[in-house]
Structure formats: C-alpha cells, structure tokens
Amino acid sequence: MRIILDTDPGIDDSLAILFLAAQPDIEIVAVGSVHGNVPAPAAAENALRVLDIAGLHNVPVAVGAHRPLAQELRTTEFVHGADGLGGQAGPAPSRRPADVSAAEQIVTLARANPGELTLLALGPLTNVALATLLEPRLPHLLRSVMVLGGALGVPGNVTTHAEANMWHDPEAADLVFDSGFPDMTLVSLDVTEKARADEAWMAALAEISTPRAQFASALLKHYSDFYSRMFGFRTCTIHDPLAAVLLQDPTLAEYKEVVVTVELRGTHTRGQLITDWRNIVDDSDIESKAGQGRTPVRAATSVNTEAFLTRLFEALK
C-alpha cells in the first residue's frame, strides 16, 4: 500500500507515523502538514523529526494550509505541548520541507499515479479540500481515502458536539464529504474513544530500550498526563494510530455506510458531524434529509481494541 499522509503532529499523529514506518507492506510516499494541533510549519518540522527517528530520511514533507478556510486559526498546544511533541521535539530536523504546498503535492502525486495512492488524513481537512478544488477529478484519481475525525453517536472532544479535526475547519470537512470520493472510510470518536491505552500498556512500552520505543514512551508520558487529569487515572486515548492500523487491517473493525454533512452555522453545534440514522423507506415527503445526494462513507462503528493495542505495541518496539 502506497500512501500520502496528511497530518498535524501532534503526539498521536507521531505515533501513527511510527506505526506506518514499521510496516513492510506500507510505503509513505509523501507527507503534508496542516494546522491543527500546532501551526502547519511546526507540524511539518515535527513530521520531519519523526520520519528521521523512523529512518525514513527521503520521504518529502510539504507545508500545508496555515489556517482554516473560513475561520481564525486555533491550535491545541495545551494538549500536545508547546512544541506539539510534549517537549520532545529537540533540535531542528535534518532537512527542510519541500518547496510545494501540501495540496499541490496531493494533486501532483495523484495525477502521476492514478488509482494507486491511498490518502490518510489525520488532521483537519483543509489540504484535502484545497486539493479537490485544484483537481476536481481527485476522488477518482486516488485509490481510497481514510479520514480520522468526527463524532457520530458520541459527544465531541472539543465542544459537546464537535470533534477536533472537524472543529478546526468545518467548511473544509463538509466540502470533502460532498466531493464524491467513492471509497472513503471514516474513523471517528465512536471507535477512537474505545482505543485507550492503560497504565500497564504504557509501562511495558517504557521498559523497551530502543530509540523508537523510548521516544514514543516520552510522548505518551506527556499525553497521559493530560488524559489522567481528565479521567482521574493513568490512561490516554490514541486516536490517530487507530486509523493507521485500520488502514492496514480493516478487519479489526466493523462498519456501516452513512452519508455525512458537517454543521456550519449552529451556535453550539458548529463542526458537528451529522448523519441520518433513520431507516426511512419512502422519504419523498421529507423536505430535508441530511446529506441527501452525497456519496456514502464507510464509518467504523466498533473496533477490536486489544488487537489494535497489540499491533501498535509491536510497531513501537
């Protein structure tokens, strides 16, 4: 599997990169950064740092969108640390980002490799939205797309209704879901909130002396400090690596086809992912059915958490 990774590292994004880098059947063709956990330029530098740790010194990294399409920039260093890596960023990366935007990089690679590349979007969807505007054929040039984000049947994690990646750029997300990607998988809070690492799992990782494991363990120390204050016990929710694991092995989850839109105007619900769960046979009398006419996405609804954590642990070793 050859993938383009769109990401905003970020602690869990970094763990996802380390997982992907450890898979012999996956090639990271290119990485694009986006605003989200940190600003896009900082996210690009973090991606380069993590790729260096993973031994992937030749994967190009392009800086992506510096701000959302229609709102001010808001980042979440209070979760991921001032450097986005829980204080583990260290010196500047060994190389510089590519001289092209992340959206342009997606389009160029998709045109050059029609039907061959999978896009894994782990951050806000600004770059993906811009790429679809640059190249309307993009949905049919990519092999498939996996999106991490949203909350279908559970509360949000930034507001009561909105998940972080949707909240950071609702307009971009809605544009992507309306672009007609024929093979799109959604990994939402409905499953990532079940994918929590406990204290024993993190302690076992900390015992491993490899540079990759020690770096991952240091990231998780900061991340689990945040979640432990939230829950009152040592744990952390590992969102992004779950999408990476399901990209490699989709059989670890169950799915349901849904049509989704993103709420753009609600005072308290902006960024909420909307789907119509009603089983309506004849909806001819319904004036407005959410997402009517859009291409369905395949949403993960349950996940084998134990198998996921085992796969991730083995990769981080």
DSSP three-state, residue 300: strand
Write out the two tokens for 275.
Answer: 């789907």
Taking the C-alpha atoms of residue 284 and residue 149, their distance in angstroms, rounded to an integer, is: 31
Q: Which one, of 43, 38, 64, lies nearest residue 126 by Cα? A: 64
Neighbours of 317 (CB within 10 A): 13
DSSP three-state, residue 133: helix
Q: Which one, of 127, 166, 174, lies nearest residue 148 by Cα? A: 166
Contact 116, 146 (CB under 8 A): no
Q: How far is CA 88 from CA 45, 92, 190, 215, in A?
A: 13, 11, 30, 8
Taking the C-alpha atoms of residue 71 and residue 78, their distance in angstroms, rounded to an integer, is: 20
- Tell me the DSSP string of 150-212: --SSS--SSSSS--HHHHH-HHHHHHHHTS--SSEEEE-HHHHTT-EEEHHHHHHHHT--SHH
3-state secondary structure labels for all residues of 246-291? HHHCHHHEEEEEECEEECCCCCCCCCCEEECCCCCCCCCCCCCCCC
As annotated, the active-site residues are: 8, 239
